[in-house]
Amino acid sequence: MGAYLGKGTIELNNAPSILSYASAVGPKEGQGPLANYFDYIGEESTLGESDSWEKAEVILQKSAFRAALEKGKLAETDISFIFAGDLLNQCTCSSYGIRDFDIPFIGLFGACSTMAEGLGLASVFVESGVAQNAAAMTSSHFCSAERQFRLPLNYGGQRTPTSQWTATAAGCAVVAPRKDPPYIKAVTFGKVTDMGVKDVNNMGGAMAGAAWETIGAHLANTKQSIYDFDMILTGDLGMVGSGLLIDLFKRDRIDIANIHADCGMMLFKNKEQDTHAGASGCGCSASVLCSVILKRITEGKLKNVLFVATGALMSPTMIQQGESIPAVAHAVHIGG
């Protein structure tokens, strides 16, 4: 049974398994370095049948979910609960995506931390026996996110060097009682952390403090050090945020540079694909986790990964009112 270790950390003594996982991405992501790991790559940003960016994102979630069911040889009725959320106002793509399925829905908002938040909750539910199988899912779409959070694409605005490219991607993982690896060993839910950043084109800067806070809490509460992990995988800090995170740990006299990786720096060939500081969006960490990372853990190539999805809880309304951007990060220890 799970145990509370204090300050946000839960140890999962029965360590439930990730029974199945899948990812669905857009064409730009399909031209990136992880192309071979994705289950579904759309030919166009509209993902074929949709007549809006939002509806395209709904298709991404449905595709990832259906692929996860298929890969796990699962029926819709095998899923007790689905934990999902996304970046769009009113978590549109999750509720419209899940509308077609007959599955109890627990809606989340954690911005780009959603994959870790959902995976953590699904794991607690399975560990404690209140769910048989539980799915965690999230998505993002470059075009729907840009017009909601920044400027309409048609405006053709210049992107700053610190800006990240919202991934057109979705990921879904199904957690089940302990059987085969990958196992979920522990979870730390993070606190809201505000670095005072007000620049909507510097999400990495806004989120680095939350990642530092949550990783630190996880290590302290579980009495582990960074050397207990093969990889500390942050959500989507990108180049700017990753640099800041490494610097924050340096102040603690801890050098994480060799153990740290960031989903935002893995999804694209950043220079070639002109994605500036890297990738971002809920779908970034979700699709990187639910492809190459979980595959490598399954194959035994990675033994212990601390997956730390980071979310900038950025509200354009509050930014217009002069407020800074709070952030949150949740950590999930996934092991072989």
Cβ-contact 112, 237 below 8 angstroms? no
Which of 48, 73, 75, 102: binder of its own copies (CB under 8 A)? 102
Which of 15, 56, 59, 111: binder of its own copies (CB under 8 A)? 111
> What crossing angle do the helices spanning 203-222 and 238-251 adopt, rounded to 10°?
40
Nearer to its own copies, 78 or 228 (CB): 78
What is the spatial distance between Cα 149 and Cα 159, in angstroms, rounded to a whole number? 13
What Å distances lie between residue 49 and 55, 60, 222, 241, CA to CA?
A: 9, 11, 47, 36
DSSP 8-state secondary structure symbol assigned to residue 203: H
Which of 35, 130, 151, 257: binder of its own copies (CB under 8 A)? 130
Which of 104, 152, 161, 196: binder of its own copies (CB under 8 A)? 104
What is the spatial distance between Cα 288 and Cα 37, in angstroms, rounded to a whole number? 9
Which of 35, 44, 179, 192: binder of its own copies (CB under 8 A)? 192
Find how far residue 258's CA is from the centre of its chain.
Answer: 21
Nearer to its own copies, 32 or 235 (CB): 235
Per CB under 8 A, contacts with its own copies among 30-89 are 51-52, 54-55, 80-81, 85, 88-89
Nearer to its own copies, 157 or 196 (CB): 196
Q: Cβ contacts of residue 321 below 8 Å, gap of 6+?
A: none
Q: Is the preceding omega at residue 182 within 30 degrees of 0, hence cis?
A: yes
Tell me, letter by letter, the H, E, C secondary structure of 28-53: HHHCCCCHHHCCEECCCCCCCCCCCH
Nearest-approach distance from CB 131 to its own copies, in angstroms: 6
3-state secondary structure of 11: strand
Per CB under 8 A, contacts with its own copies among 207-236 are none
Nearest-approach distance from CB 112 to its own copies, in angstroms: 12
**180 lines the binding site for its own copies (CB under 8 A):** no
Q: How many residues touch its own copies (CB under 8 A)?
A: 61
Site residues for its own copies per CB under 8 A? 1-4, 7-8, 10, 51-52, 54-55, 80-81, 85, 88-92, 95-96, 98-99, 101-111, 117, 121, 124-125, 127-132, 148, 188-192, 194, 313-318, 321, 323, 326, 328
